[in-house]
Structure 1
Amino acid sequence: PGWEFPDSMPLAARQTTPEPGTPLYLCHENCGTSITLSREEGYCTNWQYIARLDACLLCANEHNIWQYYGNSVTAAATTCGFTATPARL
Protein backbone atom coordinates (compact mmCIF):
# COMPACT_ATOMS: atom_id res chain seq x y z
CA PRO A 1 0.00 0.00 0.00
CA GLY A 2 0.95 3.64 -0.44
CA TRP A 3 0.36 4.45 3.20
CA GLU A 4 1.59 3.13 6.52
CA PHE A 5 -0.62 1.08 8.79
CA PRO A 6 -0.76 2.60 12.28
CA ASP A 7 1.18 0.84 15.03
CA SER A 8 -2.12 0.24 16.83
CA MET A 9 -3.31 -2.06 14.04
CA PRO A 10 -2.70 -5.74 14.84
CA LEU A 11 -0.27 -7.58 12.58
CA ALA A 12 -2.98 -10.03 11.48
CA ALA A 13 -5.13 -7.15 10.25
CA ARG A 14 -2.18 -5.66 8.37
CA GLN A 15 -1.64 -8.90 6.50
CA THR A 16 -5.13 -8.80 5.02
CA THR A 17 -4.76 -5.63 2.98
CA PRO A 18 -8.03 -4.89 1.20
CA GLU A 19 -8.22 -5.10 -2.57
CA PRO A 20 -7.03 -1.84 -4.22
CA GLY A 21 -9.87 0.34 -5.44
CA THR A 22 -12.40 -0.99 -2.94
CA PRO A 23 -14.08 1.41 -0.50
CA LEU A 24 -12.24 -0.22 2.42
CA TYR A 25 -8.86 0.19 0.70
CA LEU A 26 -9.61 3.83 -0.11
CA CYS A 27 -10.61 4.48 3.48
CA HIS A 28 -7.36 2.99 4.78
CA GLU A 29 -5.51 5.04 2.18
CA ASN A 30 -7.22 8.29 3.18
CA CYS A 31 -6.70 7.81 6.92
CA GLY A 32 -3.13 6.58 6.57
CA THR A 33 -2.17 9.29 4.10
CA SER A 34 -3.59 11.99 6.35
CA ILE A 35 -1.23 10.75 9.08
CA THR A 36 1.72 10.63 6.67
CA LEU A 37 1.01 14.16 5.42
CA SER A 38 0.71 15.43 8.99
CA ARG A 39 4.42 14.77 9.43
CA GLU A 40 5.23 17.51 6.91
CA GLU A 41 5.85 21.11 7.88
CA GLY A 42 2.84 23.33 7.22
CA TYR A 43 0.44 20.42 6.82
CA CYS A 44 -2.42 22.33 8.45
CA THR A 45 -2.81 24.44 5.30
CA ASN A 46 -2.02 21.63 2.85
CA TRP A 47 -5.17 20.98 0.83
CA GLN A 48 -4.14 17.36 0.29
CA TYR A 49 -3.99 16.78 4.05
CA ILE A 50 -7.34 18.49 4.59
CA ALA A 51 -8.98 16.47 1.80
CA ARG A 52 -7.60 13.17 3.14
CA LEU A 53 -8.67 14.07 6.68
CA ASP A 54 -12.20 14.87 5.51
CA ALA A 55 -12.41 11.63 3.52
CA CYS A 56 -11.10 9.63 6.49
CA LEU A 57 -13.69 11.12 8.83
CA LEU A 58 -16.46 10.22 6.39
CA CYS A 59 -15.52 6.54 6.06
CA ALA A 60 -13.68 5.42 9.21
CA ASN A 61 -16.69 4.30 11.26
CA GLU A 62 -18.42 2.71 8.28
CA HIS A 63 -15.38 0.49 7.71
CA ASN A 64 -14.61 0.00 11.41
CA ILE A 65 -11.05 1.34 11.17
CA TRP A 66 -11.28 4.40 13.46
CA GLN A 67 -10.04 2.16 16.28
CA TYR A 68 -6.70 1.95 14.45
CA TYR A 69 -6.32 5.48 13.09
CA GLY A 70 -8.32 7.58 15.54
CA ASN A 71 -5.59 8.57 17.99
CA SER A 72 -3.11 9.68 15.33
CA VAL A 73 -5.69 11.37 13.12
CA THR A 74 -7.17 13.22 16.11
CA ALA A 75 -3.77 14.37 17.39
CA ALA A 76 -2.80 15.78 14.00
CA ALA A 77 -6.16 17.48 13.46
CA THR A 78 -6.18 18.99 16.96
CA THR A 79 -2.77 20.55 16.33
CA CYS A 80 -4.38 22.41 13.43
CA GLY A 81 -7.42 23.44 15.47
CA PHE A 82 -9.63 21.01 13.54
CA THR A 83 -12.17 18.67 15.08
CA ALA A 84 -11.66 15.02 14.20
CA THR A 85 -15.04 13.42 14.72
CA PRO A 86 -15.83 10.57 12.34
CA ALA A 87 -19.24 10.43 10.71
CA ARG A 88 -21.83 8.37 12.55
CA LEU A 89 -23.27 5.31 10.92
Structure 2
Amino acid sequence: MSGNSSLFYSTVKYSKSGGSTVSVNLLMDAGTVYSSGTYSVASGQSASISFGGKPVPSGCRATGGIKAAGQGYFWTPSLNPC
Protein backbone atom coordinates (compact mmCIF):
# COMPACT_ATOMS: atom_id res chain seq x y z
CA MET A 1 0.00 0.00 0.00
CA SER A 2 1.04 3.54 -0.60
CA GLY A 3 -0.79 6.71 0.23
CA ASN A 4 -0.99 10.47 0.19
CA SER A 5 -3.21 12.92 2.02
CA SER A 6 -6.45 11.92 0.30
CA LEU A 7 -6.17 8.66 -1.70
CA PHE A 8 -4.45 5.31 -1.40
CA TYR A 9 -3.88 2.33 -3.68
CA SER A 10 -3.96 -1.33 -2.72
CA THR A 11 -3.63 -4.72 -4.40
CA VAL A 12 -5.13 -7.92 -3.01
CA LYS A 13 -3.71 -11.22 -4.28
CA TYR A 14 -4.82 -14.78 -3.50
CA SER A 15 -2.62 -17.78 -4.40
CA LYS A 16 -3.88 -21.35 -4.08
CA SER A 17 -1.27 -24.01 -3.35
CA GLY A 18 -3.41 -27.16 -3.18
CA GLY A 19 -6.86 -28.68 -3.04
CA SER A 20 -9.80 -28.31 -5.37
CA THR A 21 -10.89 -25.25 -7.36
CA VAL A 22 -12.60 -22.56 -5.29
CA SER A 23 -14.65 -19.50 -6.24
CA VAL A 24 -13.48 -16.35 -4.46
CA ASN A 25 -14.16 -12.64 -4.31
CA LEU A 26 -11.18 -10.47 -3.37
CA LEU A 27 -12.02 -7.78 -0.82
CA MET A 28 -10.68 -4.63 0.76
CA ASP A 29 -12.23 -3.08 3.87
CA ALA A 30 -11.28 0.57 4.27
CA GLY A 31 -14.37 1.74 6.13
CA THR A 32 -16.24 0.72 2.97
CA VAL A 33 -15.90 -2.86 1.71
CA TYR A 34 -14.79 -3.03 -1.93
CA SER A 35 -15.20 -6.34 -3.79
CA SER A 36 -13.93 -7.84 -7.03
CA GLY A 37 -15.91 -10.01 -9.36
CA THR A 38 -15.80 -13.75 -8.78
CA TYR A 39 -12.63 -15.65 -9.64
CA SER A 40 -12.37 -19.42 -10.04
CA VAL A 41 -8.93 -20.38 -8.69
CA ALA A 42 -7.39 -23.85 -9.06
CA SER A 43 -4.33 -25.25 -7.34
CA GLY A 44 -1.19 -23.44 -8.53
CA GLN A 45 -3.15 -20.40 -9.75
CA SER A 46 -3.48 -16.86 -8.43
CA ALA A 47 -6.03 -14.07 -8.67
CA SER A 48 -5.36 -10.41 -7.94
CA ILE A 49 -7.06 -7.04 -8.18
CA SER A 50 -5.89 -3.47 -7.65
CA PHE A 51 -8.21 -1.21 -5.70
CA GLY A 52 -6.90 2.16 -6.83
CA GLY A 53 -7.58 5.69 -5.80
CA LYS A 54 -9.74 4.99 -2.74
CA PRO A 55 -10.27 7.59 0.01
CA VAL A 56 -8.01 7.18 3.03
CA PRO A 57 -10.23 5.72 5.78
CA SER A 58 -10.87 7.89 8.85
CA GLY A 59 -9.18 5.35 11.15
CA CYS A 60 -6.19 4.95 8.78
CA ARG A 61 -6.73 1.17 8.64
CA ALA A 62 -7.30 -0.99 5.57
CA THR A 63 -7.68 -4.76 5.48
CA GLY A 64 -7.48 -7.13 2.52
CA GLY A 65 -9.36 -10.39 2.37
CA ILE A 66 -11.26 -13.00 0.41
CA LYS A 67 -14.73 -14.47 0.47
CA ALA A 68 -14.47 -18.14 -0.48
CA ALA A 69 -17.68 -19.84 -1.65
CA GLY A 70 -18.96 -22.18 1.04
CA GLN A 71 -16.09 -21.32 3.40
CA GLY A 72 -16.71 -17.74 4.53
CA TYR A 73 -14.47 -14.71 4.89
CA PHE A 74 -10.71 -14.61 5.54
CA TRP A 75 -8.98 -11.32 6.39
CA THR A 76 -5.33 -10.24 6.49
CA PRO A 77 -3.92 -8.14 9.32
CA SER A 78 -4.81 -4.45 8.90
CA LEU A 79 -2.37 -1.98 7.36
CA ASN A 80 -2.03 1.75 7.88
CA PRO A 81 -2.22 3.64 4.53
CA CYS A 82 -1.54 7.02 6.19
Q: Structure 2 length as normaliser, TM-score?
A: 0.26
Q: Structure 1 length as normaliser, TM-score?
A: 0.25
Structure with greater proportional strand content: 2
Structure with greater proportional helix content: 1
Give the greater-gyration-radius structure (CA): 2
* Structure ranking higher on relative contact order (CA contacts 8 Å, 6+ apart): 2
